């Protein structure tokens, strides 16, 4: 499965208004903490891969146990968007998964924390991300097979334009890559 994603910097207030006008369905808000790992056998920064544990909770769930997922993201597969092969699965306990990674020699590299508002429109997920240390972004994404990548990307561009955003301003770098070192 391929994740086709287009991300731009954007003011959330203006985008929320346009999402409402377009008839988008609000799917709620979450807080996500993504811990990215370095591999002992290769440099993910050089191979353009990522391995992370994502812990997700409702914004008002202080102290509540988070849902956890493990994700592997392969290298970007095209120059026109942030499209890559992705594999993700839920894990019962994120702390135990972190201990497994540690035992195998995977070191935590960085943590990215963001508050996300989720919307759905025309088969796309739209997220308004407030990323600690980076600011506000909008992501438009969908999943497809390899043959559908171009069509999915063009649909994401069209949706950005409907929201008053410029697809040419997209950022292909991950939030992890945008963080100051």
CATH of 2-178, one of 2.102.10.10, 3.40.640.10, 2.60.60.20, 2.40.320.10: 2.40.320.10
Average pLDDT of the segment spanning 159-164:
97
Determine whether 36 is an active site residue: yes
Pairing of strands 25-38, 50-57: antiparallel
Residue 39 has pLDDT above 80, yes or no: yes
Residue 180's pLDDT band (boundaries 50, 70, 90)?
confident
pLDDT score for 171: 95
Average pLDDT of the segment spanning 69-91:
92
> Which residue ranges make up each domain of the chain?
2-178
From 47, 55, 58, 82, select the one nearest 71 (Cα to Cα): 55
Q: Give the DSSP per-residue string, 132-166.
A: TTTEEEEEEEEEE-GGGHHHHHHHHHHHHHHTT--
Residue 65 has pLDDT above 80, yes or no: no
Per the residue annotation, which of 36, 37, 157, 175 is the catalytic one?
36
Residue 148 has pLDDT above 90, yes or no: yes
The answer to whether the beta carbons of residues 24 and 122 sit under 8 Å apart is no
- pLDDT tens figures, 95-145: 999 999 999 999 999 999 999 999 999 999 999 999 999 999 999 999 999
Residue 79's pLDDT band (boundaries 50, 70, 90)?
confident
């Amino acid at each position: 499965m391929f994740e086709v994603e287009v991300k731009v910097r954007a003011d959330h207030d203006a985008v929320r208004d346009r999402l409402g006008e377009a008839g988008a369905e609000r799917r709620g808000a979450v807080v996500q903490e993504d811990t990215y790992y370095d591999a002992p056998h290769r440099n993910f920064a050089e191979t353009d891969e990522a391995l992370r544990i994502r812990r997700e909770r409702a914004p008002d769930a202080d102290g509540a146990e988070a849902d956890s997922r493990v994700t592997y993201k392969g290298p970007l597969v095209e120059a026109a968007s942030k499209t890559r092969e992705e594999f993700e699965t839920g894990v019962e306990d994120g702390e135990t998964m972190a201990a497994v990674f540690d035992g195998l020699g995977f070191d935590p590299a960085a943590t990215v924390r963001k508050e996300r508002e989720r919307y759905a429109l025309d088969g796309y997920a739209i997220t308004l991300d407030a990323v600690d240390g980076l600011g506000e972004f909008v992501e438009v994404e969908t999943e497809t097979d390899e043959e559908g990548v171009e069509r999915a990307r063009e649909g994401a561009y069209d949706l950005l334009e409907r929201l008053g955003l410029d697809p040419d301003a997209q950022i292909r770098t991950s939030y992890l890559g945008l963080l100051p070192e």
